[in-house]
Amino acid sequence: MANEYVLVGTLKIVKILLNFVNQEVLPDLNINEDAFWSGAESIITELSPENRRLLNIRDCLQAQIDEWHRTHPGKYRDITEYKQFLYDIGYLSPRYNDENIQINTNNVDDEIAIQAAPQLVVPLMNARFTLNAANARWGSLYDALYGTDVISEDDGCERTNKYNKKRGEKVIAFTQKFLDQSIPLMNNASHADVIKYDIENGELKITLRDKNTTQLQYPNQFIGYQGEADRLNSILFVHHGLHIEIQIDLPGIKDILIESALTTIIDCEDSVAAVDAYDKVQVYRNWLGLMKGNLEAQFVKGKETIIRKLNPDRIYTSKTGNELRLPGRSLLFIRHVGHLLYTDAILNNDNQEIPEGILDALITTLIALHDINDKRKERIQNSRKDSIYIVKPKQHGPEEVAFTSNLFCRIEDLLKLPRYTLKIGIMDEERRTTVNLSACIREVKDRLVFINTGFLDRTGDEIHTSMEAGPFVPKSQMKESKWLNAYEKNNVEIGLKCGLSGKAQIGKGMWAMPDMMASMLQQKIKHLQAGATCSWVPSPTAATLHALHYHQIDVSNRHTELNSLSLLSNDYLDDLLTIPILNTTLTNEEIQHELDNNIQSILGYVVRWIDQGIGCSKVPDIDDIGLMEDRATLRISSQLMANWLRHGIITKQQVIETLQRMAKIVDRQNANDTEYQPMASNFDQNIAFQAALELILDGHKQPNGYTEPILHRRRCEVKSLQQQNIISH
Ligand SMILES: CC(=O)SCCNC(=O)CCNC(=O)[C@H](O)C(C)(C)COP(=O)(O)OP(=O)(O)OC[C@H]1O[C@@H](n2cnc3c(N)ncnc32)[C@H](O)[C@@H]1OP(=O)(O)O
Ligand SMILES: O=CC(=O)O
Ligand SMILES: [Mg+2]
C-alpha cells in the first residue's frame, strides 16, 4: 500500500502518523498542533544535514582504514604505528584526563542513580511482552526457581505442570537459604524454623518452632507490612537497597516476592522489526499507553483469556503506621534507533526520507510528556523526578554524541522543558565510542544516566572495522580475546573515573541464553564483581534470578574497593586496538562447524524477521541451545561469515550449500508454527532466504556491518507482496 502523505509546512507526513500525533498524543498536552509541527519541521530541516555529514564521516574513516590494512598487510600488529594512523585520520580523538570529566546529572530517579539491580530489555512492538516487562519490577522467587533449570530435575524433581512436591521442597530450601543470607536472624536462627511472624510495638517478633522468639540481626531491615499486626499478609524487608516481601498464608510462607527489574529498556531498536510508518505508529502507540498508564493487551493463554495491564504501586503500612508506597513497575527507558536509519514516515522538502532517530526523539519525548505532566499521586507514573530516559545506541565517537545532545536541547526548547530533562544512556557498542569513551561522556556530562557495554554490536563492529586486516577468530574464541576483556574493564573504569557511581548506571550486556538460568546464576555475578550497577537480562524470570546477585554483592562497596585500587590508572588503549585475527590454521571440520552454526542462527532469525516482522527470537544453535537472536547477534554472524569469505577461509559455493542445507533444518524447527513459510521449497524466490544470502555475500559492503538496510528492504518487499495477497500474511 502506497503511503498517503499530508503536506504540513514543507514536510510530507504519512497520514497515519499525523493522525496519531494530532488525535491521540497532542490532546491533553496543551500544545498546539501547528506549533508542534512547525517546531518539528525546523529541527528536522536544520539537523538532518548534520546527521548525513556524520554518516559520511563514518564511511570516510572506514574507507581509509580498509585502504590502510590493504596497503600495510599485517602492520596492525605494530600498535604504535597503527595507533598513530588512527590519530592521523581522526578516528582517535585527543586524550583527556578522565578525572577532569565529571558528570553532573540532576533529577535522576533512585532506580538509576542509587539502586543496583537487573535491567530488562523488551521489544516495544509487542504489547503483551512490554506490559510484562514493565510489571517485572517484582517477581516471584518460587516461580522463577520452580520453572527453570536452577533447581535440577534429578531424583524425581522434574518440572511438571502439576505441582511436584519434591521439586517444591527444593525451591523452599533454596529460598530459605536466600532469606537467611539476606535477612539474617539473631543467633544464627533460620527462617526455615520460623512458625510465625508478628508485629509488636512496631517491631517484628519472630516465633521459632521450639517456641522461642527471636529478632532480625539487623532490625532496620524490616520496614513495613500488609494485613493486621497479628495476622500479617506480607512483610517487607530491604537489603542492599532492594526490597524483599515475604508473603504469608498461615501457617507458612506462600511466596517470596523480590524486587527484580528495577529498570527496563523499552526497545524501538534491535529487538523490533519496524520498517514503515505503520510499524512506527504501532511502536509509538504502545509507548503512549505506557506513558499514560493505560496500555492493555488481551490474549489467550491456555484456556484463559487474559487482559494484561500495568500493575499499581505496592502499598504497605510502615513501622510507624503510615502509608508506605513502593513503585509497582520498572522504571522505563526508551531505546531509539541509531543515526543510520532513515524513515519514509516523513519526507522533507526534497522528498527525501528523514533520519529516524530524529523522529524517535521528537515523538517519544512528546509522548513522555503525558508522564511528567500528570502529577496525580495515585496514577501509574514512570519518572518521579520528571526526567525522560533515552538510550541512544550505535553512536560512533564524541561528535555523534554531541549531535544527539544538540537534538535533545532543540526538543527541550520546542516542548518548553527544563534543560537536561532528556537524559541519555550511551551504549558503548561501537569501536570508535569505546576508544574515545571519556570524550563521549564529556559531551553529555549533564544528562548522562548510563554507559553500557553492548558487547554484541561491539563485536560486530570489531569485525567490520578491521574487515581487511585478515580473517577473524571463530565466535566462540572472541570471548577470550584481548580487546573484549579490555573493553569491559575500560568501560567500568572510565565510568568510575568520570563520577558515575551514585549518579548513573554502569551497565553490562545481555545474557543471551534465555533457558540457561543455572548457568546465568553462576556467571552473571561477575558483572557485579567487575563494578556494574546493572546488567541486561532477556526475560522477567531472568531478572528475578539475576536479582539474587545484588543481594550477594553490595555494588556501592565494590565501587569503593575499585576506586581505592590503583586499577583505575590503567590505560587500555593498546589492548583495545589489538585485532583478534586468527593465528592458527583451522581444520575443514572446524570451518564447517562454524559455518553451520552461524548460518543456522542467521536463517533462524532472519526468516521470522522478514516473513513475520518478529525482531527478537529464540533460535536453537547447532548444539540445540536456544539463543536470543536480535539484530546485533545477526550483525556478528553475518560479518564473521563475510570476513571469512573475503579472506578465502570459505567459498561462495560453501555458503550457498550450507544455507540450503540449514534452511531445511530451520524449516523443521518451525514446523509447528502455523504462520511459518518454509524456505526450502524455492530458494531462489524465497525473500527471507535471499536476505540471509545477501547479508553474507554483501556483508563487507554494509555500512559498519549493519544488517538494517538489507532487513528493512527485504521486509518491505514481503509486506508489499502480502498487501497484494501474492503471498500469505
Ligand atoms: C543485543 C541487544 O540489543 S539485547 C536487547 C534486545 N533483546 C531483547 O529485548 C530480549 C527480549 N526477550 C525476548 O524477546 C524473549 O525473551 C526471547 C525472544 C529471547 C525468548 O522468547 P520466548 O521464547 O517467547 O520466551 P518464553 O517462551 O521463554 O517466554 C514467554 C513468556 O515470557 C515473557 N517474556 C519473555 N521475554 C520477555 C521480556 N523481555 N519482557 C517481558 N516479558 C517477557 C512473555 O511475556 C511470555 O509470558 P506470557 O505468556 O505471560 O506473556
Ligand atoms: O545492544 C546491545 C548489544 O550488545 O549490542
Ligand atoms: Mg546493540
pLDDT band per the 50, 70, 90 thresholds, residue 122: very high
* Superfamily for domain range 52-132+264-576: Malate synthase, domain 3 (3.20.20.360)
319-337 tens-digit pLDDT: 999 999 999 999 999 999 9
Tell me which residues have their CB closer than 6 angstroms to ligand 2: 270, 393, 427, 429, 454-457, 509-510, 632
Q: What would the mean pLDDT of 624-632 be, rounded to a whole number? A: 97
Atom of ligand 2 minimally distant from the CA of 453: 4
Find the 247 Cα to ligand 1 centroid distance in Å: 27
Which ligand has an atom closest to residue 630 CA? 1
Q: For the chain, give every domain's residue range.
A: 52-132+264-576, 140-259, 588-723
503-553 tens-digit pLDDT: 999 999 999 999 999 999 999 999 999 999 999 999 999 999 999 999 999
Are 258 and 139 within 8 A, CB to CB? yes
* pLDDT, tens digit (0-9, with 9 covering 90-100), for 46-81: 999 999 999 999 999 999 999 999 999 999 999 999
- Residue 448 to residues 309, 421, 483, 505: CA-CA distances in angstroms? 31, 11, 25, 9
Give the pLDDT confidence score for residue 728 in this predicted structure: 67
Residue 345, SS3 per DSSP = strand
**447-482 confidence digits (pLDDT tens):** 999 999 999 999 999 999 999 999 999 999 999 999
State whether residue 12 is helix, strand or coil: strand
* Torsion angle of C-alpha atoms 327, 180, 509, 388, degrees rounded to 10: 10
Residue 335 annotated as catalytic = yes
Can you name the residues that pair with 298 across neighbouring β-strands? Answer: 307
Mean per-residue pLDDT, 621-649: 97
pLDDT given at position 566: 63
Instruction: Give residues (CB < 6 A) around ligand 1.
Output: 120-123, 128-129, 132-133, 267, 270-271, 301, 454, 456, 510, 514, 538-540, 616-618, 628, 630, 632
Please tell me the predicted confidence (pLDDT) of residue 98.
75
CB-side neighbour CA atoms (13 Å) of 494: 32
Are the CB atoms for 545 and 521 separated by under 8 Å? yes
Give the pLDDT confidence score for residue 110 in this predicted structure.
98
Residue 348: all three cell numbers together: 522533507
Query: Hey, which residues does 472 pair with through a beta bridge?
Result: 581
**What's the pLDDT band for 682 if we cut at 50, 70, 90?**
very high
The residue whose grid cell reads 519434591 is: 166
Mean pLDDT of 270-275: 98
Q: Could you identify the atom of ligand 2 that is nearest to the CA of residue 536?
A: 2
Second CATH level (architecture) for the domain 140-259: Beta Complex (2.170)
Asked if 647 contacts 588 with a C-beta cutoff of 8 angstroms, the reply is no
For residue 474, the CA-to-ligand 1 centroid distance in Å is 27
- Of the ligands numbered here, which is closest to the C-alpha atom of 513? 1
Compute the average pLDDT of residues 495-508. 97
Handedness of CA 440, 123, 531, 519 (dihedral sign): negative
- The answer to whether residues 133 and 122 touch, using CB atoms and an 8 Å cutoff, is yes
Residue 620 pairs in a beta bridge with 626
Ligand nearest to the CA of 454: 2
User: The C-alpha cell of 609 is what?
Assistant: 524477521
Q: Which fold has domain 588-723?
A: Malate Synthase G; Chain: A; Domain 4 (1.20.1220)
Is 630 among the catalytic positions? yes
Amino acid of residue 633: T
Calculate how far, in angstroms, residue 456's C-alpha sits from the geometric centre of ligand 3. Answer: 6
Q: What are the phi and psi torsion angles at 313 (to 5°)?
A: -65, 165
User: What local confidence, expressed as pLDDT, does residue 323 receive?
Assistant: 96
Which residue type sits at 362?
L
User: What 3-state class would DSSP assign to 314?
Assistant: strand
Q: Which ligand is nearest to the CA of 455?
A: 2
Task: Report helix, strand and coil shares of the chain as percent, to nearest 5.
Answer: 45, 20, 35
**Which phi-psi region, left, alpha or beta, contains residue 240 (left: φ > 0; alpha: ψ -120 to 50)?**
left
CA of 586 to the centre of ligand 1 (A): 36
Is the per-residue pLDDT at 96 higher than 90?
A: no
Mean pLDDT of the chain: 96
Other residues' Cβ atoms within 10 Å of the Cβ of residue 340: 20
Mean pLDDT on 114-143? 98
Tell me which of 335, 447, 458, 635 is the catalytic residue: 335
Q: Find, among 479, 429, 489, 425, the residue nearest to 453 by Cα.
A: 429
Give, using CA atoms, the residue closest to atom 2 of ligand 2.
454
Query: What is the C-alpha to C-alpha distance for residues 59 and 722, in angstroms, rounded to an integer?
Result: 35
Q: Indicate the top mutation candidate among 126, 260, 539, 619 to test ligand 1's pocket, ranked by most ligand atoms within 8 A of CB.
A: 539
Tell me the mean pLDDT in the region 484-497: 96
Please state, in angstroms and rounded to a whole number, the distance separating the CA atoms of residues 464 and 394: 14
Give the whole-angstrom CA distance, residue 13 versus residue 57. 29
**Percentage of residues in the chain having pLDDT higher than 70:** 99
Mean pLDDT of 545-574: 90
Confidence of residue 97 (pLDDT cuts 50, 70, 90): confident
- Choice among 344, 371, 575, 630 that is catalytic: 630
| Helices and strands per DSSP (H, E), number in the chain | 25, 26
H or E stretch covering 425: strand 422-428
What distance in angstroms lies between residue 428's CA and the mean position of ligand 2's atoms? 9
Q: How many Cβ atoms sit within 10 Å of the Cβ of residue 294?
A: 13
d(CA 612, CA 598) in angstroms, rounded, equals 21
Residues recorded for the chain: 729
Q: To 10 degrees, the CA torsion angle through 275, 276, 282, 286?
A: 60
Contact between 421 and 382 under an 8 Å Cβ cutoff? The reply is no
Give the mean model confidence (pLDDT) for residues 86-113.
93
Q: Report which DSSP code applies to 586.
A: P
Q: Report how far ligand 3's centroid is from the alpha carbon of 632 (Å).
A: 5
How far, in Å, CA of 548 to CA of 555, rounded?
13
- Tens digit of each residue's pLDDT (9 = 90 or more) over 155-203: 899 998 899 999 999 999 999 999 999 999 999 999 999 999 999 988 8
